[in-house]
Amino acid sequence: MSQVKNVLLIDFGSTYTKLTAVDVESEKILATAAAYTTVQTDINEGLDEGLKKLREKTGDIKFDSCYACSSAAGGLRMVTSGLVPELTSEAARLASLGAGAKVVGIYSFELTEYDLEEIKEQKPDIFLLVGGTDGGNRDCIIHNAKMLASMNPEFPIIIAGNRSASATCSKILEGCEVYICPNVMPKFGVLNIEPTQKKIREIFLERIISAKGLSRAAELLSDIMMPTPSAVLSAMELLSKGTEDELGIGELLAVDVGGATTDIYSIADGMPEHMNTVYKGLPEPYAKRTVEGDIGMRYSIQGIIDAAGEEKICSLSTLPAERVKEIVSDLKSHTDKVPAGEDDLEKLDFALAASAIEEAVSRHAGTISETYTMMGQTFVQEGKNLTKVKNIVVTGGSLIHTKRTAEIASFALYSPSSPASLRPKKSDVWVDRTYILAAMGLLSVHYPKAALRIMKKELEFHGYSE
């Protein structure tokens, strides 16, 4: 009889610390618990409270392994600088987001004194310095290295630009914490972001844990600590692709609507389907993540209203404008407020969540436009084509604590009112009602088969209906 392996998985979130106990041998969740993330005092207080709640359900069991992820204290904050906005700057952004970071600043061309003041205010955990293809422009990245050196940065800097300039930049930044990675865009239109993403995660492990007050918590860990979005992306890749022994569910789109941000993940090829469609811009990663920092259910509530328009929020919520303004004003002051039954707040939250998903997925998905050439009608695609994606995975309090989850999720789909948007045309919906996605991403590093099977069992399935 094989030995039972109990694994503890911890997600230090910005609001809650979530714990999941798993029996990997029987491929089942033993219990889950959550406690407030006490980052303002000592983050370990929230962890201890969560462990106490968990053991009330599991009893005093022994955990063979413990893994964790974190988005507490602002998550992994990154600033990037590149040469051309549509090329190297975009490559840097994709590398950062795919590593689970929150990009708080993106700069193109040469940095200015004003930019340096902004960077100081942004207080990044890591700076990603890129620019130029290999053998291409050297001047911009070297100038930016000099500018960064002049500010005596306290944050680590990753150099991942033109390889003929990397050594020069490293010498300019001598005395700073510097890491050199292969160019994120070695050739025009070619991405090589995986080495940089790996380095970002390594720095997160080595440096960021102590900065976020997680040192004592890290002593519990058997192995890994990563940014929470990175863990969720790993879970989504596993759920989509499966393992050698078991199939995944196929290409998917995942949506996590939070209080401050909305994260979107797509695991899909996304390239043009038809011969008369040409692709414009950088090819996007098969596993892509974006985060909308201005779209959230509480801290970024105004961003949803600005994007959707007050009239649409009123229409979806069936509430008059004055009542909407009244509730929104109250929510800005009381960000912890949640609906209590069939009340006006529940109606407004439906409208906010639906609008958040529609806007965030529209930004994540690609677009298509029509043009004419000497060969006749031609279509131009920018970004990912997600029209054939058949699965949508949703999580976040506004989606899991409502009976209208599938209805809200449907706002991620293609709409005739936005014909240029390449959003999914019809999809099944999978609901993460118990907040296990980050935990399963952690588990997948060592136990991918168990993580996949647990997700298939635990995610609530809603088949597509017209």
In this predicted model, what pLDDT tens digit does every residue of 67-114 receive, in sequence order?
988 876 667 889 999 998 888 888 888 888 888 888 989 999 999 999
169's CB contacts (< 8 A; 6+ apart) are 129, 141, 142, 145, 159, 161
If one counts every other C-beta atom within 10 angstroms of the C-beta of residue 465, the result is 9
pLDDT (0 to 100) of residue 425: 95
Quick one: pLDDT at residue 139? Answer: 96
Q: For residue 466, what pLDDT is reported?
A: 46
CB 405 within 8 A of CB 394: yes
Task: Report the Cα 10 to chain-centroid distance in Å.
Answer: 17
Q: Determine contact, residues 457/241, Cβ cutoff 8 Å.
A: no
Instruction: List pLDDT tens digits, range 310-355.
Output: 999 999 999 999 999 999 999 888 887 888 776 899 999 999 999 9
Residue from 223, 167, 163, 230 nearest 194 by CA: 230
pLDDT at 271 > cutoff 60: yes
CA distance 143 to 110: 7
Domains of the chain by start residue, with CATH:
6-72+212-223 (3.30.420.40), 77-206 (3.40.50.2300), 237-462 (no CATH)
Q: Residue 430's closest CA among 379, 389, 466?
A: 389
Report pLDDT digits (tens) over 170-197: 999 999 999 999 999 999 888 899 999 9
Beta pairing partners, 80: 106, 128
Stretch 127-153: mean pLDDT, rounded? 95
The answer on pLDDT for 445 being more than 60 is yes
What whole-number distance in Å separates Cα of residue 182 and Cα of residue 194? 9
Rg, Å, the chain Cα set: 23
Q: Between the CA of residue 401 and those of 336, 341, 434, 435, 463, what are the distances in Å?
A: 14, 10, 10, 11, 19
| Helix runs in 123-162, H state only | 139-150
Q: Which residue has the tokens 């069936």?
A: 318
**What is the average pLDDT across 386-398?**
94
Q: What is the pLDDT of residue 41?
A: 61
209-238 pLDDT per residue, tens: 666 666 666 666 666 678 888 999 999 999
pLDDT at 4: 56
> Is the model's pLDDT at 18 over the cut of 80?
yes
Q: What share of the chain in percent tops pLDDT 90? A: 64
Position 437 pLDDT exceeds 80: yes
Q: How far apart are CA 45 and CA 378, in angstroms?
A: 60
> pLDDT category, 258, cuts 50, 70, 90?
confident
Residues 6+ away with beta carbon under 8 Å from 150: 116
DSSP tag of 297: S
Burial 191-207 (b: 16+ CB within 10 A, else e): bbbeebbebbbebbeee
CA 440 to CA 75: how far, in whole Å?
19
Within 13 A of 332's CA, how many CA atoms are on the CB side? 12
- Treating both helix axes as pointing N-terminal to C-terminal, what angle do 139-150 and 163-172 enclose, rounded to 10 degrees? 20
- Which tens digits make up the pLDDT trace of 278-320? 998 888 899 999 988 889 898 889 999 999 999 999 999 999 9
- 261 φ, ψ (degrees, to nearest 5): -135, 165
Tell me the one-letter amino acid at 27: E
Alpha carbon of residue 144 to chain centroid:
28
Q: How far apart are CA 381 and CA 384, in angstroms?
A: 8
Query: Which whole-number Å values give the CA distances from 136 to 73, 106, 132, in the listed order?
Result: 38, 21, 5
What local confidence, expressed as pLDDT, does residue 179 receive? Answer: 97
Are the beta carbons of 8 and 21 closer than 8 angstroms? yes
pTM tops 0.95:
no
Task: Please state the length of the chain.
Answer: 466
SS3 311: helix
pLDDT given at position 432: 95
Instruction: Name the pairing type of β-strands 6-12 and 65-70.
Output: parallel
pLDDT at 409: 95
